[in-house]
Amino acid sequence: MFLAHLWIPIVVSAVLVFIASSVIHMVVKWHRSDFRGLPNEDAVRSAIRAGNAVPGEYMIPYCSDMKDMKSPDMQRKFTEGPIAGIVLRAPGPPSMGRPLVLWFIFNLVVAAIAAYVAAKGLPATAAAGPVCAVAGTVAFVAYAGGSVQMGIWWGKPWPNVVRDVIDGLIYSVITGAVFAWLWR
């Protein structure tokens, strides 16, 4: 089965995942507790502005070479805290347009990869169960895996990771079900 034959389930699953994520974030709002504000936010904002940091990823405390991690000064910084990973964006009013477009494109890419794996591993006559399992599993890894890595390496709070993984499970069930429905 060629990937071109699967363009309908690719697009339909991307649209339905987009809608599901919109419902999760705008109606259910169960991610509202994922972030907290700093009690001294204005002072922190002023300090970052004063440093003229450009948009990018930053680490506090920062160590440019792993061999320096054992130095007394670096050990003191880690012991005193805070330890943080910070993403700075370009200043300006928030806009949802670009992130929503990028999210939809990502949904299309995930669905296309799921379609590719399913098409390579399953016959065109495959039953709905295996189609759902293969496409859904690929989608689950894509939608949920990144948040688990953030929990492991960046200290993302595990309750937030669990919510993201549940989101990924919902999106993968949608993707698998659409592929099972529209496989032939």
The per-residue pLDDT for range 27-76, each reduced to its tens digit, is: 999 999 999 999 999 999 999 999 999 999 999 999 999 888 989 999 99
Residue 18 and residue 81 in one domain:
no
Tell me the pLDDT tens digit for each residue of 78-130.
999 999 999 999 999 999 999 999 999 999 999 999 999 999 999 999 999 99
Together in a domain, 115 and 172: yes
User: Counting runs of H as helices and runs of E as strands, what totals does the chain give?
Assistant: 6, 2
Burial 93-112 (b: 16+ CB within 10 A, else e): eeeeeeeeeebeeebbebbb
> What is the number of domains present in the chain?
2
Is pLDDT at 178 greater than 80 in this prediction? yes
Q: Are residues 29 and 103 in the same domain?
A: yes
Instruction: Quote the pLDDT of residue 1.
Output: 57
Tell me which H or E stretch contains 8: helix 7-23
Q: Which domain holds residue 14?
A: 3-35+95-182
Q: How confident is the model at residue 11, as a pLDDT? A: 97
Determine the pLDDT at residue 3. 73
User: CB of 136 within 8 A of CB of 175?
Assistant: yes
Q: pLDDT-derived band of residue 169, with 50, 70 and 90 as boundaries? A: very high
Average pLDDT of the residues of the chain: 94
Say whether both 105 and 172 belong to one domain. Answer: yes
pLDDT tens, 8-41? Answer: 999 999 999 999 999 999 999 999 999 999 999 9
- Rounded Cα distance, 66 and 96, in Å: 38
